[in-house]
Amino acid sequence: MYRRLLELEPYLTHKSLFLLGPRQSGKSTLLRARYPQALYLDLLASELFRDLSRYPESLGERVAASPSKLVIIDEVQKLPGLLDEVQRLIDGDSQLRFILTGSSARKLMRGHANLLGGRALFFRLHPLVSPELDFARTADRLRVGSLPAILNSPIAWEELKAYVGTYLREEIQAEGATRSIENFSRFLDFAAHFSGEQMNFTALGSDAGIPPRTVKDYVSLLEDTLIGHVLEPFRQGRKRKAVATSKFYLFDVGVTNALLGRKSVEPKTPDFGRCLEQLVYLELKAYLDYRRSDAKLCYWRSQSQFEVDFVVGGSVAIEVKGAGRVGPRDLRGLQAFSEETRLARQIMVCDEVDARKLDGVDIQPYAEFFRALWDDRVIAA
């Protein structure tokens, strides 16, 4: 059992919570370990699901019979209509708290579900991050990703293939959001090639043999089901015109590798650089979510092809290189971006052994960067 960084207790004192995260990210394990006395209702249990779907008011009977004032409902997106009963119970008892988990936000956000009108806060649980692993196993994470059950499996690659071959497609089918699971499956395979790249719906649609409009809908579907993230561009530069196209990342490096059939990731290769960039992105996103930060995460690229991988809060610029040695030519994107806005820090994350300074840029080995990030030495918490 890992010590997960997500803090819920300070907020649970005042509000009920929605806890969203991809399947196998550890939501149930976390909540069962932290709140063993809670009334736990798992909507994946078919008998319970049938009972609550036919008689939502029976939730109140179960709550009244429980000695606990904390109720955990797992996979609440399977029965969004139950949220009306949840609201009724919250309004009737100021001491009662719910934690409502889900592996998809689609039916909650777009299905006109009752989101409890400010009575609950939203949290996200990510796959494992560096401090939860004592800053070890980065090489493993670049290969098989950070989902707890898969990272620890002696047959991790087989587990990953099962995850992308069965679960991801079944999750989409369960959403009922696409008419053709075959088209979606084909799109998902091609989407892995575009992870970390600017989104081009026309090009991706052409490769996958589906219309660009359908590609756009599928990207939204990946966001809603917590499988993909869209990274917006930074557009506030002063000198150079920036591109307005967003980037796309899958939620786990191992899932990307499995979709690509990429079993190994060797240092000083292009694949290593791409996997490291994705991992840095996922760590940054998790950090901002866990710190409840309002700092915006984006990227910058000028139409003259200068680029910075990540910009945080408009003042911290981060570039990622898989190379073993960073030279002045590698800093051109950061230097160009420094002319666009006032920066507090410029960081190059790389595979070097020792941290150093080069032309005002902090050159940081990725292990040191992850430590500095979670010690709040990269971004002000």
- For residue range 146-204, list pLDDT tens digits in order: 999 999 999 999 999 999 887 766 667 666 555 677 788 888 888 888 889 898 888 88
In this structure, is residue 381 part of a structural domain?
no
Q: How many CA atoms lie within 13 A of 60 on its CB side?
A: 13
Q: What is the pTM of this model?
A: 0.94
One domain, residues 56 and 102:
yes
Assess whether 256 and 226 both reside in one domain: yes
pLDDT in tens, 312-342: 999 999 999 997 789 999 999 999 999 988 8
DSSP code for 24: T
CATH number at residue 77: 3.40.50.300
Asked if residue 313 and residue 211 are part of one domain, the reply reads: yes
Q: 303 and 211 share a domain?
A: yes
Are 97 and 145 found together in one domain?
A: no
- Residue 111: alpha-carbon gap to chain centroid: 21
Same domain, 152 and 274: yes
Picking from 84, 106, 125, the residue at the C-terminal end of a domain is 125
Instruction: Tell me, yes or no, whether 30 and 169 share the same domain.
Output: no
The count of domains in the chain is 2
Query: Are 121 and 149 part of one and the same domain?
Result: no
Q: What percent of the chain has pLDDT over 70?
A: 93
Last residue of a domain, one of 125, 159, 179: 125
Dig out the tokens for 265 from the structure: 């990731």
Q: Residue 25's domain spans which residues?
A: 9-125
In the chain the first and final C-alpha atoms are separated, in Å, by 26
290 and 231 together in one domain:
yes
